[in-house]
Amino acid sequence: MSLFRDVLGADESLFRNEIALDYSFVPKLVPYRESEQHNVASCIRPLFQQRNGRNMFIFGQPGIGKTVAVRHVLNELEEQTDDILPIYINCWQHNTSFKVFLELCDAVGYKFTQNKRSDELFLVARQIINKKSAVFVFDEIDKLQDYDFLYSILEEVYRKAVIAIANDKGWLSSLDSRIRSRLMPEPLEFRPYSLEETKGIIMQRMEHAFSQGVWADDALGLVAGKAFEMHDIRRGLFLMRQAGLAAEGKASKRITTEHVLSSIEALDDFSIKDESELDDEGRLILEIIKKNSGRKIGDVYKAYQDAGGKAVYRTFQRRIDRFEGDRFVVLKRIAGGTEGKTTIVNLANDRKLTEF
Ligand SMILES: Nc1ncnc2c1ncn2[C@@H]1O[C@H](COP(=O)(O)OP(=O)(O)O)[C@@H](O)[C@H]1O
Ligand SMILES: [Mg+2]
């Protein structure tokens, strides 16, 4: 009998490079968004001739490649020239003008930010930026509490292209006319992917993240179908990771529809957006993370156990993964190092958890 033929050995993994499933992973190629990337590049191009760039407003629903496409353009820009500073700021994580200025200082390598006021921070950053030109990307710009920073940048940075990204087209009209008339961005809508495109992207990630041949075709088709149905690649990545973990949990050498189906149940919890919607267990875990933000997941788990938490590590880990999808936390997965791979758990922010 070959009862154990399909069983995974203790030192085997279905994952080749799990980091490739991170939402923030930027693959070498971003297919199906070529024309959008050309559009973005054309707003930046005048900066190469010491002229002012054009501004852009990108919108479209979550999980359809807005961030990854723009980041990809910035990466190419960085490879091309040192004369144009690529500055990417996620406004969901940095949601006030003060925090944006801190990020600007960080981006230009200015470290002495302690005890400085907003205007002082901007003054320093501006002096450095104005020696060159800059592309500013303000991602999730609709999550900001104030737009003073935008006014300052539009008025006082000489050569720039400002790219604002939001889910909702309506953001632009909600802007104060004083800023809107200075921004005057070209709109660029990102449309959801077709089924074929969704499949292509899911397939590309599978090849990056998993060992060869571990995915059953119909299982991967199920993931792609679900991601397409929800118009959200991020959820497809979540499903892939969870199905992989589920298969590993059962020491299976293959990832099958059974593992995907069990992970789809977890997706139902994917859309919790507010702390008040969490169950007791979720609330306990979030409390622990608040006190232990920035620590390794193993340490956070210990603190959770010390506080009376009963879940096994795997369940705990899955919960934290879901928190990432719901944006309660930002996870940083670190490969290599003396301790092998580990995950750092950061509380996403102290801001209100609004819809995304
Ligand atoms: N065309 C694409 N090629 C490769 N990966 C993609 C593509 N579009 C989206 N993704 C992946 O899907 C996830 C969600 O995309 P993201 O850019 O974060 O969406 P958005 O910013 O629109 O919410 C990311 O992990 C991203 O890398
Ligand atoms: Mg995004």
What number does the ligand 1 atom closest to the CA of 65 have?
17
Q: Enumerate residues lining ligand 1, CB below 6 A.
A: 23, 25, 27, 30-33, 62-68, 201, 204, 233-234, 237
**Distance from Cα 276 to the centre of ligand 2, integer Å:** 24
User: Which ligand has the shortest distance to the CA of 240?
Assistant: 1
Closest Cα to atom 25 of ligand 1: 23
**In this structure, which CATH number among 1.10.10.10, 1.20.1090.10, 1.20.120.420, 3.30.70.2740 belongs to the domain 275-347?**
1.10.10.10
**Structural tokens at position 158:** 């000489």
- pTM for the full predicted model: 0.78
Mutate to test the pocket of ligand 1, among 74, 205, 233, 237 (most ligand atoms within 8 A of CB): 233
Query: What SS3 string covers 76-138?
Result: HHHHHCCCEEEEEEECCCCCCHHHHHHHHHHHCCCCCCCCCCHHHHHHHHHHHHCCCEEEEEE
What span, in angstroms and rounded, lies between the C-alpha atoms of 258 and 247?
A: 9
Q: Whose CA is nearest to atom 17 of ligand 1?
A: 65
274: left (phi over 0), alpha (psi -120 to 50) or beta: beta
Best residue among 18, 21, 23, 68 to mutate for probing ligand 1, ranked by most atoms within 8 Å of CB: 68
Q: What is the position in ligand 1's atom list of the atom closest to the CA of 139?
A: 21
Alpha helices, H only, 130-256: 148-156, 177-183, 195-209, 217-229, 233-249
The owner of tokens 């102290």 is 350
Compute φ and ψ for 75, nearest 5 degrees. Answer: -60, -45
- Longest Cα–Cα distance in the chain: 77
Give the nearest ligand 1 atom to 68 CA: 17
| Residue ranges of the chain with per-residue pLDDT less than 70 | 1-6, 10, 268-274, 336-340, 349-356
The reported pLDDT for the residue numbered 164 is: 98
Tokens, residue 47:
């900066």
Helix and strand counts by DSSP (H, E) for the chain: 13, 8
The one-letter amino acid code at 223 reads V
CA of 293 to the centre of ligand 1 (A): 26
Distance 220 CA to ligand 2 centre (A): 24
Q: What is the DSSP secondary structure assignment for residue 48, as one 8-state letter?
A: G
Give the amino acid at 90: N
- For position 337, what pLDDT does the model report? 61
Report the pLDDT value the prediction gives residue 341, as an integer from 0 to 100: 77
For 339, phi then psi, to 5°, come to -105, 20
Q: Tell me the CATH class for 193-271.
A: mainly alpha
CATH topology of domain 34-189: Rossmann fold (3.40.50)
Q: Which atom of ligand 1 is nearest to the CA of 197?
A: 1
- 């179908």: which residue's tokens? 225
106: Cα separation from own chain's centroid: 19
The answer to whether residues 16 and 210 touch, using CB atoms and an 8 Å cutoff, is yes
Q: Give the Å distance between the CA of 24 and the centre of ligand 2.
A: 9
- pLDDT at position 23: 85
The pLDDT tens digits of the residues spanning 35-53 come to: 999 999 999 999 999 999 9
Q: What is the CA radius of gyration of the chain?
A: 22
Q: Contact 193/229 with Cβ under 8 angstroms?
A: no
**What whole-number distance in Å separates Cα of residue 150 and Cα of residue 175?**
11
- Cα-to-centroid distance, 354 and ligand 2 (Å): 15
Say how many C-beta atoms besides its own lie within 10 A of residue 59's C-beta: 20
Q: Which atom of ligand 1 lies closest to the CA of 204?
A: 4
Tokens for 292, please give them.
């232990």
**Ligand 1 mean position to 92 CA, how many Å?**
17
What is the pLDDT, as a whole number, of residue 266?
Answer: 72
Residue with tokens 């009998």, as numbered in its chain: 1
- Nearest partner of 352 among 327, 322, 319, judged by Cα: 327
Say what the pLDDT of residue 271 is: 56
Pocket test for ligand 1, best of 234, 326, 356 (most atoms within 8 A of CB): 234
CB 303 within 8 A of CB 286: no
- How far is 190 from 211, CA to CA, in rounded Å? 32
- Please state the domain extents for the chain: 34-189, 193-271, 275-347
